[in-house]
Chains A and B, each alone.
Chain A
Amino acid sequence: MNKPLPNTFRQGPDARGRFGQFGGRFVAETLMPLILEVERAYDEAKRDPSFMAEWRRLLTHYVGRPSPLWYAERLTKHLGGAKVYFKRDELNHTGAHKINAVLGQILLAKKMGKTRIIAETGAGQHGVATATACALMDLPCTVFMGATDVERQQPNVFRMKLLGAEVVPVTSGAATLKDAMNEGLRDWVANVHDTYYCIGTVAGPHPYPMMVRDFQSVIGEETREQMMAAEGRLPDILVAAIGGGSNAMGLFYPFLDDASVAMRGVEAAGHGIDTDQHAASLSKGRPGVLHGNRTYLLQDEYGQILEAHSISAGLDYPGIGPEHSWLHELGRVQYVSATDTEALDAFQLCSRLEGIIPALEPAHALAHVMQLAPTLPPETLIVMNMCGRGDKDIFTVAKHLGVSM
Chain B
Amino acid sequence: MPVFDLAATPLRALNQALHGVAPGANDTEFEVLNPRGQHAVAVGIDGPVTVTVRGPVGYYCAGMNDGGTVTVQGSAGPGVAENMMSGTVVIEGDASQYAGATGRGGLLVIKGNAASRCGISMKGIDIVVHGSIGHMSAFMGQSGSLVVLGDAGEALGDSLYEAKLFVRGSVKSLGADCIEKPMRPEHRAHLAALLDRAGVADVRPEEFRRYGSARKLYSFNIDNADAY
Real binding pair? no
